[in-house]
Structure 1
Amino acid sequence: MLVFWKQKLVMLAVPKTGTSAYEEALTPVASMIVNDPPELKHAPVYRYNRFFRPMFDKVGAEDMELLAVIREPISWLGSWYRYRQRPFLDGRPTSTKDISFDDFCDAYARGDRPPFANVGSQAKFIEPRPNGVSVTHLYKYENQAGLITFLEDRLNIALDLPRTNVSPQRDLTLSPDIEAKLRRKCADDFEVWERAT
């Protein structure tokens, strides 16, 4: 998570949406960088609302705006799948080493996900809170040009993004029946992505 105090902007770090590259590029102009532990770095709206917002409100920043980036859901799952094939996870229950992308997505679409497919939900990550706290600026990962333009204008900077934290390439072919199941069972994630800029 990155906080830009003077610009009254908080950039939430939705996992697998390129936030590591933005963190590296924007650290010099950020007022606060939360990069550890992962539970705070990747704080969803509900955790921001519970822990960070009250602190910001106490020091006069009641009107902070939230920025989040979300990725097309199948592409997002593909990034998680590839990430979890890295050798450091070999032998762990979260590894996808000997699992096909179809099997990974099928497991993700279940109600009770096994550890290797338990990667959360982008829709839940940005879910508005009952007190009205919600994401103000929601960008598609696939609209990097729009996101960069927004950040350059808002922060008054020129942005040069590095490539960081890139997962290994893998076959991400998804069978039509598994894709249909994903679209049915995870409709909220597809709907949220559709309405993003």
Structure 2
Amino acid sequence: MLVFYKERLAFLAVPKTGSTAYHSALRDRADFVVTGPPDLKHAPVRRYDRFFQNIFRKMHDTEMEIMAVVREPIDWLGSWYRFRSRPDRIGHPHSTHDLSFDEFVQAYMQNPRPDFADVGSQSQFFRTRSNGAGASHVFKYENQDKILAFLQDRLNMQIDLQQENVSPQRDLSLTPRTERAFRKRHAAEFTCHDAAL
């Protein structure tokens, strides 16, 4: 999470949407930087509003506009699957090293999910509190040019992004049956992505 007080902007870090690269590029420019623990670095809209936004309301009588990035849902799960298949995760309960992507997505659809597939939900990340305003600027991960243009204009600076947290390449094919089931069961994830800029 990055907060730019003068610009009244909070950049929330949706997991697996390139947030680490933006943190590295902008941490020296931000007024408030949260890099850990993960439940604070990746605080969803509701948690940000309840704790962080409240500070600005009570102490400074102002609010930050919220921006965040959302990734196409199958691609997002693919990123989690690849990330958890790294050699250093072998033997860990979160490891996907010995699974196919199809098996991973099927596990994601279970209730409860096994540990290795319990990676949250982008649509849940954007849920608001009953009195919360929600995210003002939501960008699609694949539209990096729009994200950069927005931030460079808002922050009045040139941003040099470096690729970080690169995961191993894996086969991300799904059977038609699994893809249909995922799209039906998790339609809210696709609606969330479709609504972004």
Please indicate the TM-score interval, normalised by the length of the shorter structure.
Answer: over 0.9
CA–CA distance in 1 between the matches of 2:187 and 2:109?
10
Q: Letter of the aligned partner of 2:190 in structure 1?
A: F
Q: Which runs of 5+ in 2 are unaligned?
A: none
CA-CA distance at 1:62 after TM superposition: 2.5
Contact 2:46 2:132 in 1 (8 A): no
1:79-113 Cα distance to aligned partner (Å, 9 max, x none): 00000011222112111011110000011112211
Q: How does 1:89-100 map to 2 (within 5 A)?
A: 89-100=89-100
Describe the SS at the equivalent of 2:28.
Answer: helix
CA-CA distance at 1:78 after TM superposition: 0.3
Q: Specify the alignment match of 1:187 in structure 2.
A: 187
CA–CA distance in 2 between the matches of 1:24 and 1:159?
10
CA–CA distance in 2 between the matches of 1:6 and 1:161?
22
Q: Specify the alignment match of 1:126 in structure 2.
A: 126
Contact 1:8 1:61 in 2 (8 A): no
Q: Specify the alignment match of 1:156 in structure 2.
A: 156
CA–CA distance in 1 between the matches of 2:20 and 2:104?
24
Q: Specify the alignment match of 1:135 in structure 2.
A: 135
Q: Which runs of 5+ in 1 are unaligned?
A: none
Q: Specify the alignment match of 2:58 in structure 1.
A: 58
Q: How does 1:54-93 map to 2 (within 5 A)?
A: 54-93=54-93
CA–CA distance in 1 between the matches of 2:96 and 2:106?
13
CA–CA distance in 1 between the matches of 2:186 and 2:112?
13
Please give the TM-score of this superposition, normalised by the length of structure 2: 0.97
Q: Specify the alignment match of 2:177 in structure 1.
A: 177
Contact 1:71 1:193 in 2 (8 A): yes
Contact 2:2 2:30 in 1 (8 A): yes
Report the CA distance shift for 1:143/1:61 in structure 2 as closer, same or farther (over 3 A): farther
Please give the TM-score of this superposition, normalised by the length of structure 1: 0.97
RMSD: 0.9
CA–CA distance in 2 between the matches of 1:103 and 1:36?
30
CA–CA distance in 2 between the matches of 1:62 and 1:174?
46
Aligned residues: 197
Q: Letter of the aligned partner of 2:113 in structure 1?
A: R
Aligned residues with identical type, % of pairs? 53
CA-CA distance at 1:132 after TM superposition: 2.7
Q: How does 1:38-49 map to 2 (within 5 A)?
A: 38-49=38-49
Describe the SS at the equivalent of 1:67.
Answer: strand
Contact 1:68 1:135 in 2 (8 A): yes
Q: Specify the alignment match of 1:5 in structure 2.
A: 5
Q: Specify the alignment match of 2:29 in structure 1.
A: 29
1:129-175 Cα distance to aligned partner (Å, 9 max, x none): 21033000000000000010000000001111100111111111111
CA-CA distance at 1:38 after TM superposition: 0.8
Contact 2:56 2:63 in 1 (8 A): no
